[in-house]
Every structure is written in structure tokens, then in C-alpha cells.
Structure 1
Amino acid sequence: MTKFRNKYRIEGNRMRILNYSAPGQYFITNNIQDHHWILGHVANQKMVYSEYGEIVKKEVLKISEYHPRIILDEWVVMPNHFHLLIILKEYGFYNGISEVDDYNMQKNHEFYFSHKWWNKPKYQPTKKEVEEYCKLRRRMIIPKLMGKLQMKTSKDINILRKTPGTKNWQHDYHDHVIRRRASYINIKNYIINNPKNWKQDTFYDRA
């Protein structure tokens, strides 16, 4: 993590080519624009939500409604950011909450990621292939989830603040695909203990 204008920022880390609808465990972090503390504060190692933080918390708890394969595993909303631990179950899975149809997305992604160049680690895709991927990525579950979450919370926050059109979230969120059980446990514990360790967190730096 580096600093820009003496404020922490997270570099975009999404792999150039990755199926963000594939079954797996995803650790996601999104920051408030300029790291402003608008979502609340930490007192006695517990998060105390502002009215804006309550908006974000309420929407985070709706995430499993976004898509039938989404399981919201662990989460925390902090004064200037949130962390999510999202599980995408196998294709065709139904979480018992969402009413979104997954069939077409499954078929499109299975076809695209079966292309021969995708399975070659050292292969450099052409500009056309990258453009094709970028168009598809916007329709993948994780990007769609984040877009919807950002849009809905920002709209409601702006209504409450009477600041229509204001950008509340940093555009480039941080995501990490968890591939090992040990990493999953460490990340889950990190999220759970985030309020307790708030003053040691790199996000503590006030804007």
C-alpha cells in the first residue's frame, strides 16, 4: 500500500484476465472517496454507525439478494471503508434468497473462458481479446455486485446529505481471490477484529 498526497490508497489489483463469476472466495475492500470518516466511528472497540454508515450496513446485508450464487460470509463497515468476504458458489447454486436468473450468465462465461488462449499462462492476449474480456467483466458477478452496492448506497447517502451527484466511493476497489484455507481464516479474523484493531489499521489516517 502506498501513499498519495499523504493519504493511503490501494492500487488496483484485479488480474488482467480473470473470471469474476467463477466459484470461489473473494475478499473485497472499498474506500470512501478521499478516506473521509463519514460512516461512523469506533468506540470501545466497536463500530458506531452514522446515519450514512447505517445506509451502507443495510445494503451490505442485502448482498445475497443480488444473485443466487452469492453468500455473504463476513463483513464489516468501518468509518471510511468496508470489507466483504464473499463466497460465489458453483454454477446453478441457489442461495434461497435471490430471484435473479443465472442461466445465461453461466453459459456465456463457460463459453468465453473455454477459449484456448485463456488456458495458456504465458500467452499475451491481443488488444481485441482484452477489449472483449473487459466488456464481459462488467457483466460478471463481483463487478456487478460492487457497482450496485456503490450506486445504491451513494444515491441514498446523497439524498440524506442533499449532495446530488457527489462521488462517495473510490472507483477502484481492492479485490483478492482467496486460494488457501489459511488465508481464508486469516482474512475472516482480520474482518472480525477490524474494529478492535482500528487504531493500528492503515485506514485510520484521517482525510
Structure 2
Amino acid sequence: MFDTGNRYDPDRHHRRSIRLKGYDYAHEGAYFVTICVFEHECLLGEVVNGVVELSEFGSVVEREWLHTPDIRPQVDLDYFVIMPNHIHGILVINDDGPVGAYCNTPLQTTDQTRLQSPSQTVGAMVRGFKAAVTKRVNIMRESPGAPFWQRNYYEHIIRNEQSLYTIRHYVATNPARWAEDRYYGGQKD
């Protein structure tokens, strides 16, 4: 057997979940998500004079993002921005139940919390979005099976109105700060 010298080390190779333990991600509320292109490659467009000009792939991302509420009617889209190598977006999950406070989500759920289909979770929405974009992009670039997105995604539960406004400002002004991004591709503004 060929020995590469790379042994499994559970401390080094274990993928730690960045999700809030015990939280029901199908729970009504607002969520800020960031999804990055594989290896942070700038495939979605470029920033010119503080404005994002989408590439063909970026246009696919935009169409699929805007299509989300058609597939999942419990989801509303709030602010979003497609950057050259990632997308930031605010998803709002609405519950058709009689009670609920917008953007005031509990830190934990209880056993009495109504169970929802896994297809209504933030993770399921992101997986579906990523899969749809990857399929379309791979057809365009004739590369079936090639990765388009980084594994996983970043998410933040928006717990109150002030946090919502702060994140909206961050999303809206993101293109103007592109040169400060740690994965900035050296594009000229």
C-alpha cells in the first residue's frame, strides 16, 4: 500500500459545525448568509467604480437567487449582493402560523417547537440554490461534476431590527469595499 504520510488526525481533520447547536434553522426569522465560489475564484463578475458588473455565471447566480421564493414560498428575500467571488444575502423565513415576531428569534428551541420539513431549513435552501447554480454553470462551461462553490456556507441569525439594519448596510456597501476583501482578485476599480 502506498503511504503518503498523511494520517487521519481527528483534531485536524474533523469538520466542526459553525451552526448554533440546538437551533432550528427552519424557525421563522431572518438569516444572513454568505456563499463563496470554489477556491474564492472571481467568476461572478467584477467591481468597476464601486459597482458590480456580473459575468454570465454571476447572472445565473442572480436568477437562481431571485427564483428562491418561487420554489420556497415561506422565504422572502431581503438585501443581497453578488460579489466577484461570493454572494451575501438576507433570507427571511415566514411561518404561516398565528404568532411570531419578525427578527426576534430565540436562542434555543424547545421540544414543543413545531417540526417542519427539512426542505424548509436555511441549510436546505442553500443546498438547493448551490446545486441549481452549479448544474447550470457546469452545463455552460461543459464541466459536469466540477465544483463551483466552496463547501458549506457562512450564516448568521439576525435577532433584532438593529442587527438587520447593520447587515443591510454592510451588504449595500460591500462593492465599495471590494479592494479591502481578503480574497480580492486585484481587479482595478
Q: Structure 1-normalised TM-score?
A: 0.70
4+ long deviations beyond 3 Å: 136-140
Aligned match of 2:181: 201
- Equivalent residue number for residue 19 of structure 1: 24
SS of equivalent to 1:62:
helix
Distance 1:203 1:138, change over 3 A: farther
Give the percent of matched residue pairs that are identical in Structure 1 and Structure 2. 29
Paired residue secondary structure (2:175) = coil
**Is the contact made by 2:76 and 2:94 (CA closer than 8 Å) also made in structure 1?**
yes
Residue aligning to 1:171: 151
User: C-alpha separation between the residues in 2 aligned to 1:87 and 1:76?
Assistant: 16
Q: 1:47 to 1:192 in 2, by over 3 A?
A: same
For residues 17 and 84 of structure 2, the distance between their equivalents in structure 1, rounded to whole angstroms, comes to 21
- Which runs of no fewer than 5 residues in structure 2 stay unpaired? 1-15, 99-108
Select 1:191's aligned residue among 167, 171, 179: 171
1:30 corresponds to which of 29, 32, 35: 35
Shift of 1:114: 4.3
> 2:34–2:88: 8 Å Cα contact kept in structure 1?
yes
Superposed CA RMSD in Å reads 2.3
- 1:48 aligned residue: 53
Higher helix share: 1
> Residues of 2 paired with 1:180 and 1:201: CA distance?
27
**Residue segments in structure 1 that go unaligned for 5+ positions in a row:** 1-10, 94-112, 119-132
Aligned counterpart for 1:146 among listed residues 126, 131, 152 = 126
CA contact (8 A) 1:72 1:85 kept: yes
Which residue of structure 2 aligns with residue 83 of structure 1?
Answer: 88
Residue 19 of structure 1 contacts residue 137 of structure 1 at CA under 8 Å; is this kept in 2? Answer: no
Contact 1:19 1:140 (C-alpha < 8 Å) held by counterparts: no
- What TM-score, normalized by structure 2, do the two folds share? 0.77
Q: CA deviation digits over 1:165-186, x for unaligned, max 9?
A: 0011112100000112221111
1:115 is aligned to: 111
Query: Following the alignment from structure 1 to structure 2, what is the Cα–Cα distance between the partners of residues 114 and 180?
Result: 20
Distance of 1:68 and 1:198 partners within structure 2:
32
* Shift, 1:200, TM fit: 1.5
Letter aligned with residue 15 of structure 1: L
For the 8 Å contact 2:36–2:153, the answer to whether it is kept is: yes
Contact 1:37 1:80 in 2 (8 A): yes
Matched, 1:157 2:137: yes
The number of equivalent residue pairs is: 160
Task: Give, in angstroms, the shift of residue 141 of structure 1.
Answer: 2.4
CA distance in 2 between counterparts of 1:204 and 1:40 reads: 12
